[in-house]
Amino acid sequence: MRPRRATRPRPAGAGSGDAVGQVLELEVGPVAHGGHCVARHEGRVVFVRHALPGELVRARVTEGGATKGFWRADAVEVLRAAPGRRPAPCPVARPGGCGGCDFQHATPATQRDLKAAVVAEQLQRLAGLTLDVVVEPVDPGTVVGTAQEGLRWRRRTQFAVDAEGRPGLRRHRSHAVVPLRDCPISSEAVLGTGVLEQTWGGVETVEVAAGTDGPPLLVVHPAAGAHPRLPRAEDVSLAVRTPGGLHRVAGRTWVAETVRVRETDHAFRVSGAGFWQVHPQAAPTLAGAVLDALDPRPGDRCLDLYAGSGLFTAVLAEAVGLTGTVVAVEGEARAVKDARRSLHGRDQVRLVVGDVARVLGTPDGPAGQETGELVVLDPPRSGAGREVVGAIAARAPRVVAYVACDPAALARDVAWFAELGYRLDGLRAFDLFPNTHHVECVARLVPLG
């Protein structure tokens, strides 16, 4: 065995980071999935944030070097602006600032065009489908086309806390915290808790959840080994989350949500700032789109996969009536407990706790024999995956409604459905995360022929 050579210190700027800090003049190309646009420098791809397609910019490299296949950069000067550019409403939505919003420098209509282009590109590249995608605006009480469009919509926000106890949000691709006095996309209900006006000693993050009814809930995550300094709780609920669970300090450990779909109100309780859609119109919009896609009839048998707190379960149970069934599968026991409370008394509903792939793959399990004439699935950002897609197709449903928050995962799974005899029969996309690159889709899949 040859002896190892002594390692010499690298000169400053050498190696994989030797391009960081360089300022490049770039012609900006198309938008890419992830909140940036594609440019090229001497043949190398550069992903540029804070730019728009068709612009000429000077961009500072934030990640890159001679051995890297692509670089990342921030547009620091716009030499030729695109028609859709505007001043960002938030002063920290800029290079080196907060990483929460990707598209504040674009008008709301331009943002939707960018998201539509991403969804169409992913479907074409990963599923071989050519679609004319339209992203629909969904605005919470402000008028589309005004200066307030796309602001004050977020009813659930997690703020990080820096070493001095100041709340804020993290920089893009960094753990560094940008302290905030305001967050223009967070709702008045979130900011009205005073979360950004406090100093949070011994705290790592603070989650704020504002429901449709009752007081907002603040959930504090203490820093490791610290004893958090908590504010006085006035007109809010306050809880502390530790490895041992959620501990009530004041008020209640859940928020109430009321969702109106097709003239019917559905009430839910969501524990400990658990998962719920952050846009106030997201739940009714998506539930309505799922009903439109599935067109359930009295007596139908339905599967609701990745059911969460039971939003789609509730509206499907209403549609299929007492002669139908809805089997809801969810891996998080806390969410199923919430769903059980919210759906109490609906005899046509059966709730199953467990990993979706495992539950569907167990023939003698609680959902193993359930055919499912209709299936809705709302998987995490990573998508359903081949195993779950295969288990769904094996049940031969007449319609599948796939709710997706990631266009790439959706396109990949749509391609796998196609291999198993299902075609994409419709797609709706909604701008439920204005000023960010995120977009929500509802795809309708039906058997070939």
The residues carrying an active-site annotation are 405
User: How many CB atoms are located within 10 Å of the residue 355 CB?
Assistant: 12
Element (H, E) at 281: none
**What span, in angstroms and rounded, lies between the C-alpha atoms of 157 and 175?**
17
Question: Residue 330 annotated as binding?
Answer: yes
Instruction: Give backbone dihedrals phi and psi of 18, rounded to 5 degrees, phi first.
Output: -75, -5
Say if residue 402 carries a ligand binding annotation. Answer: no
Q: What's the burial of 418, exposed, middle or buried (CB within 10 Å: 0-12/13-18/19+)?
A: middle
Strand partners, 75: 59
* CA torsion through residues 216, 236, 274, 326, sign: negative
The sign one gets for the Cα dihedral 75, 69, 118, 29 is: positive
Asked whether the beta carbons of 269 and 338 are under 8 A apart, the reply is yes
Rounded (5°) CA angle 104-109-111: 45
What is the C-alpha to C-alpha distance for residues 103 and 203, in angstroms, rounded to an integer?
A: 30
DSSP-assigned letter for residue 195: G
Cα 46 to Cα 246: distance, rounded to the nearest angstrom: 44
Backbone Cα Rg of the chain? 24
Q: Does residue 348 have a known ligand-binding role?
A: no
Burial class of residue 58, CB neighbours in 10 A (0-12, 13-18, 19+): middle
Q: Where would I find the H helices in 275-310?
A: 282-294
Residue showing tokens 């399990």: 365
- Cα separation, 357 vs 350, in Å, equals 17
Closest to 285 in 3D by CA, of 109, 119, 429, 103: 429
* H or E stretch at 391: helix 386-394
Q: Does the annotation list 370 as a binding residue? A: no
Which positions make up the binding site? Answer: 277, 306, 330, 378
Which positions make up the binding site for S-adenosyl-L-methionine? Answer: 277, 306, 330, 378
